[in-house]
Structures are given as structure tokens and as C-alpha cells.
């Protein structure tokens, strides 16, 4: 461990300290919260009021502003969970374990939101609530992966063992995600002739994609807020015997 | 008498022999516990029987359903037998001894998975022709079915073993394994049934089999690593 | 002969919200017997599992012959014999088959000496019956036969004398004494007093818990 | 502004149910992800405080 410390930047080791991490999260939280609020509110107003209706799908197209950001977030959240888990496994970094654990519920709810909005959007577009569309199917499998990680995490009593085991599982899942995605895409084209999909559109005018971009960035900011809230809870819980946590609690 | 404690060690048994010894040991253990040996097979047959009863006994319909049904049943049967892969070793302390061996754990793990596959995946592959007759699968599909099972079921055993290793320390790991492992089984299922359907309709199989082979190669390289790490974590807890 | 085998520095471990030991440091030299003492639940087994490398849930440093243990895992495992709560004996296999597999795991052991080892623990004539037909004591002796087979320098023994009769205990003690005389080290827990095995150093975990 | 009146805005060209259902769900999920950790935090702080008091009294 001692030799390794030389080639990693200093902030990495500060990040490894739960106390430093707790404080920096506390400082960053308001900024991200304000950014998320502005971006999400602005994005939603723009999306609902000012963005033009789609010439084919009409106003139901406006669901894209929730569907796409939540789907993107669900995927990148999994990536983050797996990477944080790997860091926790390799460098025995407690904070990374906690980040991985905090990622799982957010990612799972985002996957649920992407699935629900996809289904609701499917009703006016395809005429049925659920279609075994490749994207929806792989999102459903992503949700299963999240549920598996969360179930394993809660089934193991020892905190550090639970964190390590979930990290291994999420890494295995990470290797599998491209394979699953490819196989589902391929299976889908085999089963049904390629109809128009939910999200792939030829060229989107700027007044359509700018609010979309706003919503995506807003969702990321919201993710940061929720993650930091959860992370702070997790740090308090895991470090409950540390002196600084006691002082913090007594000062309240 | 103990040997003198000299650091000059003479390897009496090499790695290949350890692999063979573990394979032989696990096969022997399963053969001495006959009920567990045939359970996955019986389960496989029973699940298959449920479909004509539950859906429809009409031959044309069953023939269309057969590739999927056989593959899903094979998948569930593999999963059912997965829990016991490391559990008995964990309970009687053999797993501790295994992990404390100076030999690479991956080697022993590979041998154990191979033994497991020989008694489930291979056995399922061998009874598959019988099942395909019961489900009216056209005769042209049978070679494709057997080849896809032969290439696909080892991957199922490898991936399932990761789940088994992760849950071995838990008192009730059975249901949890399915939850962890089933999503990971989906590519094998898709390509496996794809191969059988292609065989039935007379399309070339090579692509599907190549994909199943690629999955198997990837699994053989990566799964033992994950299984080894998972076992150390589970025993540590 | 008396080089330091195992060195433990500032070991910290907690289980279920309870600190088992904190700032635990000690050394084990060649030719030494170290007995871990403590009340039930004081973390004896946990400590042995940490020392053997089975459990990684600890903080602190462990050195094997001067090197951090993470770097010399394989060399360390080749020099280690661990005897845990579970004997590591497969009930469906015969004593002979069990020990043969153990030899396969430790490449340096000679399977030809399995017979001899079984004879030493008084299991002659039971070589080829499945272990589940043996009594509890015999079952345990199958596992103890590993002590006769082993060429490891460090023995970590967790309650090696349970379910063993008096005569067996004496034989085991003599074996431990011989191992130590040859320059090996033994770390063990036991409820019995060790007699005639030379100098026994003890480490008490109860006092550790209070301090921590 | 792509709507001429408020009722038109509400009906969303006949797709009002789907659009408003989606946005309600989106809002619910976002709020859930913020409220749950905040409630968890107050619960945790109370629990840890009780624990500290217990520990301070007992020795």
C-alpha cells in the first residue's frame, strides 16, 4: 500500500478519508441542488410549453424529455457503481464502497422511470403499453442487474463483505452489459421488422434538443445531489464510532 | 515421522495433476450421492412436461415452442444444481483448505465447474434428443440443439458458479442465486434458441455457434477470476 | 533457528459493532508455541483466521519473514498448516481419498506418506471406509493426520484437541513439541493446558478488549 | 409558445393523459430520491444520538 501512494494524486487519498468526503459533500450540495433545480425547472417549462410538437407523434413526443435523461442516467449510474466498487476492491477504500452502495437505489429508480415513461410513450405510439423493443428490454435487464446487486448487498450482514461481494457482482454485470445489449438488439431485429424506434430520430431541430440537453444535465446534477445525500448518510452510519462523528452529533 | 523442515521443496504433484485430482474428487462425490446426481435431469424433464400441459399439446405449436422451452428448462435445471457447487465444501471446511493452498485457486475452481458441467450440462445435452421428440421438434433441428447446448451450457455453469461463490456464506442463498445469475444468462439463451431455430428452418448455424463459442471463451477466461475473488470474499465474511 | 516468522503490528478488528482487538502487536519466532487465550467470543477464532489469511476484514500489518504478507501470499501458504473448526474432511470420501486431495493441494507433499500418517493417528484399517461411518473423534483424527503429513513451518491450530481422547492428546502434544524442536512455530487455541511441550507463550485477548 | 390556450396545453393534442402521467411519475421519482435520503438522515441522526446518550450514561 505504501508504494502505491506515490503515483496517485493527493486528492485521491483525501477522498479516501470519510471525514473529508463528508465535509466536501456538504459544501458541494447547495451548488448542485441549485443547478439541478434551475436546469430541471427550465428544461421542463421549455419542454412542455415551447418545444414544438413532433410532426409524427404529436405532443406525446414531450415524454422524451424524461425518458432519455433517465435512461442515460440509469446506465451511467451502473458504470459509476461498478467503477467505485472496483476501486473499493483494489485499494480497500471505504468511501468507494459507500459510493457504490449509494448508487444502486438511484440507478434502480432511474431504470424504473425510464421503463415506465417508455411504456406510457409506447401506448400512443405503438398502440400498446409494452413492446419488446430492444431498448426497453435491455433497460429491463439493467433493472434486474440493479435489483440483484441490491439484494446481495442487503443479504450479507457484514458491511465490508457485502460491499466487496456487490462490487464483484456489479463488475461481472459491467462486462455483461455490452453483451446483453448486443444480443438483445440482435434478437429484436430477428423477431420483428425494424419499425421506427422511440428515440432515434433523424434530425432534431435545436428547439427540440436544447431542452433535452438541459434535462440531461439537470438529471446529472440531481443525481449528484441524491448521491451526496445518500453518501453522507452512509458515512455517518459506517463511521458512527469515529470521534468526529460523535462531535458532530453532540454539536447538533 | 515428519520430514525435516527444509525450504527446498520438491513438487510431487503438479498443476495438471491437481486439476485431475479435483475433477476426480468432485465426480466421485456426486456419484456417491445419487439423488443429487439425477435431480437436475428429473427437474429438466418435469419442466418440459409442464408446457404441453399448461399451454397446448398441439404438435405444430409445440414444435415452434420447443427450442425456447428446452433452453429455458436447461437454464433452470443448471441454476437449481448451482447452489450446492461450493456449499458442501463451505460447510465442512474443505473450502478453507482450498483457499489456503499455495496452488492457484482458479485451477481448482475450473476443475469443479467442469465436474459440475459434466453432470448437468453434458447430461442435459445427451437427453435433449429424447425431449425434442416429445416436443415434436423437427429432426433437422436436433443436431443444432445438441451443438448449441454443448457450447452454451458450460457458460451457464461458469456464470452460475460466480453466483454460487457470492452466496456461499449465506444461509439461504438458493433464491438469491437465481436473482443474481438469471439476467446474465440472457445472451446464452438468445443465441442458443437462435441456433436451434436456424437449424430447424435450414439456415446456417455457424454464426450462432461462433457467438456461443465466443461467450464460452470469454467466460473461461474471466469467470474463474471472479469466482476465486468471490470465494475469498465469502469465506472472509 | 529463532528467526521471526510472523510479525503482527497494530492489528485492529471489529465484529458486529464490537471491537475485538485494537493495536494488537506480537511476534512469533521459530521454535515457539503461542497460545491465544480469551473468553468465548473474545475473537480467538477471528484472530487465527486473520493470521492464516482467510479473513481480510482487519486493519494493521502482518509480516511473514519480514515481508508484508500481501506480497508473499503463495510462499506463506506453502509454509502454513491451518486447522480450523470444521475439519475439512468430506464425509462421502474415505480418509485416504481426503488426504490424497490435501496432498494435491499442497504440491510439496508426498501422497505415498498418506498411509503412514493414517497409521500415526490410529486409523489403520479405516483407510477405505467413507468418513461418515466413522465416529466424531475418528473424523477429527482424519484431519489431524495432516499434521503428520505436513512440512509447513507455521501451524495455526484452532481447538485441535476437542473430541480427542487423552492418549490422543498426549500424542498430539508430543507432535507439537517435535515440530517446535525442529524450528517450526505453532499458534493455537485450546481449553486445555499444554503440558510438556516446552515454553508456551500466551496472548490474552480479554485484556485487549477492555483496552479497546 | 406552441399552445394557444390553457385547455389546449392540458389536453396536449389528445395525448394529455400520457404526457401528464409521465411527468407526474418523473416528479414522484425525483422527489422520492431526495426525500428518502433526507428522512433516512434524520432517522439515523436520532438513532446515533440515542446511542451516544446510552453510552455516556452507562459507564
Query: CA B168, CA B83: separation in Å to the nearest integer?
Result: 8
Give SS3 for A183.
helix
Residue D1 domain-assigned (yes or no): no
Distance from CA of A157 to the nearest CA of D (A): 18
How confident is chain B (237 residues) per 10-residue block, as mean pLDDT? 47 75 92 85 93 91 92 93 90 92 91 94 93 92 94 96 93 86 94 92 90 95 95 90
Domain that holds residue D38: 6-57
C-alpha cell at C148: 503428520
Domain that holds residue C146: 86-151
* 3-state SS string for chain A: CCCHHHHCCHHHHHHCCHHHHHHHHHHHHHHHHHHHHHHHHHHHHHHHHHCCCECCCEHHHHHHHHHHHHHHHHHHHHHHHHHHHHHHHHHCCHHHHHHHHHHHHHHHHHHHHHHHHHHHHHHHHHCCCCCCCHHHHHHHHHHHHHHHHHHHHHHCCCHHHHHHHHHHHHHHHHHHHHHHHHHHHHHHHHHCCCCCCCCCCCCCCHHHHHHHHHHHHHHHHHHHHHHHHHHHHHHHHHCCCCHHHHHHHHCC
Is residue B22 within 8 angstroms of chain C, CB to CB? yes
Task: Report the residue of chain C nearest A163, measured CA to CA.
Answer: C57
H or E segment to which residue C6 belongs: strand C4-15
Query: CA A12, CA A1: separation in Å to the nearest integer?
Result: 14
Is residue A172 within 8 angstroms of chain B, CB to CB? yes
β-strand C67-68 against C59-64: which pairing, if any?
antiparallel
C38: left (phi over 0), alpha (psi -120 to 50) or beta: left
Residue A246 domain-assigned (yes or no): no
Measure the CA angle with vertex A86, ends A82 and A90; round to 5°. Answer: 175
Q: Are residues C11 and C75 in the same domain?
A: yes
Mean pLDDT: which of B11-15, B214-218, C173-177, C178-182 is highest?
B214-218
Residue A19 domain-assigned (yes or no): no
Query: CA A141, CA B183: separation in Å to the nearest integer?
Result: 6
How much is the average pLDDT of D28-46? Answer: 94
Cβ atoms of A78 and A174 closer than 8 Å: yes
User: What share of residues in chain D are helix, strand, coil (percent, to 5)?
Assistant: 85, 0, 15
Nearest to D2 among A52, A112, A124 (CB): A52
Residue C177 domain-assigned (yes or no): no
CA distances from A224 to A35, A217, A230, D41 (A): 10, 11, 10, 17
Judged by CB atoms closer than 8 Å, whether chains meet at D9 and A233 is answered as no
- pLDDT higher at C152 or C208: C152
Mean pLDDT value across chain D: 86
Q: How many domains does chain D have?
A: 1
Q: Which residues 155-184 in chain C show a CB within 8 A of chain B?
A: 178-179, 182-184
How much is the average pLDDT of C117-146? Answer: 86
Query: CA D35, CA D41: separation in Å to the nearest integer?
Result: 10
* Residue D58, pLDDT score: 67
Query: CA B150, CA A163: separation in Å to the nearest integer?
Result: 35
Give SS3 for A24.
helix
Residue A67 domain-assigned (yes or no): yes
How much is the average pLDDT of C183-212? Answer: 72
Q: What is the CATH number of the domain that holds C44?
A: 3.40.50.300
C-alpha cell at B215: 461467450
Q: Which of chain D's residues have a Cβ under 8 Å away from the Cβ of A245?
A: 48
Residue A15 domain-assigned (yes or no): no
User: What share of residues in chain B are helix, strand, coil (percent, to 5)?
Assistant: 80, 0, 20
Query: CA C207, CA A100: separation in Å to the nearest integer?
Result: 37
Distance from CA of C15 to the nearest CA of A (A): 8
Q: CA C153 from chain center: how many Å?
A: 11
Q: Computed from CA positions of residues D51, D54, D58, D59, in that sequence, does the dihedral angle turn out positive or negative? A: positive
Q: Which residues 71-90 in chain B show a CB within 8 A of chain C?
A: 88
Judge whether residue C183 has pLDDT over 60: yes
Give SS3 for C161.
coil
Query: CA B24, CA C102: separation in Å to the nearest integer?
Result: 13
Q: Which of chain C's residues have a Cβ under 8 Å away from the Cβ of B35?
A: none
How confident is chain A (252 residues) per 10-residue block, as mean pLDDT? 51 76 93 95 88 76 90 95 94 90 96 94 85 88 96 90 95 93 84 55 72 93 96 91 84 76
Instruction: Say whether the B–D interface has 3 or more Cβ pairs within 8 Å.
Output: no
Distance from CA of A211 to the nearest CA of D (A): 14
Q: Which residues have a Cβ under 8 Å from the Cβ of C110 and sit 6 or more positions away?
A: B12, C103
Distance from CA of D42 to the nearest CA of A (A): 9
Dihedral over alpha carbons B112, B118, B120, B126 (to 10 degrees): 170
Judged by CB atoms closer than 8 Å, whether chains meet at C183 and B25 is answered as no
Domain that holds residue A159: 28-48+57-239
Residue C141 domain-assigned (yes or no): yes
Q: Are residues C11 and C65 in the same domain?
A: yes
Is residue C185 within 8 angstroms of chain B, CB to CB? no
Q: How many domains does chain C have?
A: 2
Residue C124 domain-assigned (yes or no): yes
* Residue A7, pLDDT score: 58
Is residue B21 within 8 angstroms of chain A, CB to CB? no
Is residue B90 within 8 angstroms of chain A, CB to CB? no
C-alpha cell at C91: 464425509
H or E segment to which residue C50 belongs: helix C44-52
Judged by CB atoms closer than 8 Å, whether chains meet at A50 and D1 is answered as yes
Q: Which of chain C's residues have a Cβ under 8 Å away from the Cβ of B235?
A: 54-55
Please compute Rg for chain D using Cα positions: 23
Residue D39 domain-assigned (yes or no): yes
C-alpha cell at C41: 467470543
C-alpha cell at A114: 425510464
Query: CA C22, CA D47: separation in Å to the nearest integer?
Result: 26
Phi, psi dihedral angles at C47 (to 5 degrees)? -60, -45
* Residue B165, pLDDT score: 95
Q: CA C120 from chain center: how many Å?
A: 18
Residue A250 domain-assigned (yes or no): no
Task: Report the residue of chain D nearest A52, measured CA to CA.
Answer: D2
Q: Which pLDDT band, with edges at 50, 70 and 90, does D6 fall under?
A: confident
Q: Are residues C12 and C69 in the same domain?
A: yes
Q: Are residues C40 and C127 in the same domain?
A: no
Nearest to C101 among B25, B91, B96 (CB): B25
Amino acid at each position: 500500500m505504501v508504494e502505491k501512494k506515490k503515483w496517485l494524486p493527493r486528492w485521491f487519498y483525501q477522498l479516501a478519508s470519510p471525514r473529508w468526503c463528508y465535509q466536501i459533500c456538504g459544501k458541494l450540495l447547495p451548488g448542485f441542488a441549485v443547478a439541478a433545480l434551475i436546469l430541471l425547472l427550465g428544461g421542463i417549462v421549455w419542454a412542455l410549453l415551447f418545444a414544438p410538437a413532433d410532426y409524427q407523434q404529436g405532443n406525446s413526443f414531450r415524454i422524451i424529455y424524461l425518458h432519455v435523461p433517465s435512461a442515460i442516467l440509469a446506465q451511467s449510474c451502473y458504470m459509476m457503481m461498478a467503477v467505485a466498487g472496483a476501486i473499493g476492491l483494489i485499494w480497500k477504500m471505504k468511501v468507494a464502497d459507500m459510493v457504490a452502495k449509494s448508487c444502486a437505489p438511484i440507478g434502480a429508480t432511474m431504470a424504473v422511470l425510464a421503463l415506465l415513461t417508455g411504456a406510457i410513450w409506447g401506448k400512443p405510439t405503438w398502440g400498446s403499453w409494452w413492446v419488446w423493443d430492444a431498448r426497453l428490454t435491455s433497460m429491463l435487464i439493467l433493472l434486474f442487474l440493479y435489483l440483484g446487486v441490491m439484494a446481495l448487498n442487503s443479504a450479507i450482514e457484514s458491511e465490508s463483505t457485502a460491499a466487496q461481494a456487490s462490487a464483484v457482482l456489479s463488475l461481472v454485470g459491467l462486462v455483461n452489459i455490452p453483451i446483453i445489449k448486443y444480443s438483445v438488439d440482435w434478437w429484436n431485429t430477428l423477431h420483428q421488422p425494424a419499425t421506427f424506434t422511440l428515440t432515434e430520430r433523424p434530425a432534431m431541430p435545436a428547439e427540440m434538443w436544447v431542452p433535452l440537453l438541459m434535462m440531461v444535465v439537470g438529471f446529472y446534477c440531481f443525481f449528484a445531489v441524491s448521491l451526496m445525500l445518500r453518501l453522507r448518510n452512509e458515512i455517518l452510519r459506517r463511521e458512527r464510532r469515529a470521534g468526529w462523528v460523535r462531535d458532530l452529533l453532540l454539536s447538533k | 515421522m515428519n520430514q525435516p523442515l527444509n525450504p527446498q521443496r520438491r513438487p510431487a504433484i503438479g498443476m495438471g495433476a491437481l486439476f485431475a485430482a479435483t475433477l476426480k474428487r468432485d465426480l466421485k462425490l456426486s456419484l456417491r450421492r445419487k439423488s443429487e446426481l439425477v435431480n437436475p435431469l428429473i427437474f429438466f424433464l418435469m419442466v418440459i412436461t409442464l408446457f404441453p400441459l399448461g399451454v397446448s399439446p398441439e404438435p405444430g405449436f409445440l414444435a415452434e415452442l420447443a427450442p425456447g422451452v428446452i433452453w429455458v428448462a436447461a437454464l433452470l435445471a443448471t441454476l437449481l444444481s448451482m447452489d450446492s457447487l461450493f456449499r458442501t465444501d463451505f460447510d465442512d471446511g474443505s473450502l478453507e483448505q482450498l483457499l489456503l493452498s499455495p496452488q492457484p485457486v482458479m485451477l481448482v475452481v475450473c476443475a469443479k465447474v467442469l465436474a459440475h458441467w459434466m453432470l448437468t450440462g453434458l447430461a442435459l445435452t445427451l437427453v435433449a434428443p429424447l425431449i425434442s421428440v416429445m416436443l415434436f421438434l423437427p429432426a433437422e433441428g436436433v443436431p443444432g440443439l445438441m451443438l448449441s447446448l454443448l457450447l452454451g451450457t458450460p457458460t451457464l455453469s461458469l456464470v452460475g458458479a460466480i453466483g454460487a461463490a457470492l452466496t456461499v456464506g449465506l444461509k439461504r442463498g438458493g433464491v438469491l442465486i437465481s436473482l443474481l445469475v438469471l439476467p446474465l444468462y440472457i445472451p446464452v439463451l438468445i443465441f442458443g434458441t437462435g441456433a436451434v431455430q436456424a437449424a430447424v428452418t435450414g439456415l446456417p448455424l455457424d454464426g450462432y455457434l461462433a457467438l456461443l463459442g465466443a461467450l464460452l471463451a470469454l467466460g473461461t477466461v474471466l469467470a474463474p477470476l471472479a469466482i476465486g475473488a468471490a470465494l475469498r470474499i465469502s469465506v472472509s465474511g | 533457528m529463532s528467526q521471526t516468522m510472523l510479525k503482527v503490528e497494530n492489528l485492529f478488528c471489529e465484529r458486529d459493532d464490537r471491537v475485538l482487538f485494537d493495536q494488537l502487536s506480537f511476534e512469533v519466532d521459530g521454535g515457539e508455541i503461542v497460545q491465544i487465550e480469551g473468553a468465548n467470543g473474545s475473537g480467538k477464532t477471528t484472530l487465527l483466521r486473520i493470521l492464516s489469511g482467510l479473513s481480510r476484514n482487519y486493519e494493521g500489518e502482518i509480516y511473514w519473514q519480514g515481508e508484508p504478507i500481501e506480497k508473499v501470499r503463495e510462499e506463506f501458504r506453502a509454509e502454513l498448516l491451518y486447522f480450523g473448526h470444521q475439519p475439512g474432511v468430506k464425509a462421502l470420501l474415505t480418509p485416504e481419498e481426503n488426504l490424497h486431495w490435501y496432498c494435491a493441494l499442497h504440491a510439496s507433499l508426498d501422497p505415498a506418506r498418506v498411509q503412514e500418517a493414517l497409521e500415526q493417528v490410529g486409523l489403520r484399517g479405516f483407510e477405505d471406509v467413507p468418513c461418515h461411518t466413522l465416529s466424531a473423534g475418528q473424523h477429527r483424527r482424519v484431519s489431524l493426520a495432516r499434521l503428520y503429513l505436513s512440512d509447513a513451518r507455521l501451524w495455526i491450530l484452532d481447538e485441535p484437541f476437542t473430541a480427542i481422547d487423552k492418549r490422543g492428546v498426549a500424542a498430539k502434544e508430543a507432535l507439537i513439541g517435535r515440530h517446535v524442536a525442529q524450528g517450526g512455530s505453532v499458534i493455537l487455541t485450546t481449553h486445555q493446558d499444554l503440558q510438556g511441550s516446552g515454553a508456551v507463550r500466551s496472548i490474552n485477548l480479554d485484556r485487549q478488549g477492555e483496552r479497546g | 409558445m406552441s399552445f394557444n390556450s390553457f385547455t389546449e396545453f392540458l389536453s396536449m393534442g389528445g395525448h394529455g393523459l400520457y404526457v401528464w402521467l409521465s411527468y407526474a411519475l418523473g416528479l414522484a421519482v425525483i422527489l422520492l430520491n431526495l426525500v428518502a435520503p433526507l428522512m433516512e438522515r434524520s432517522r439515523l441522526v436520532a438513532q446515533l444520538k440515542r446511542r451516544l446518550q446510552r453510552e455516556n450514561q452507562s459507564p
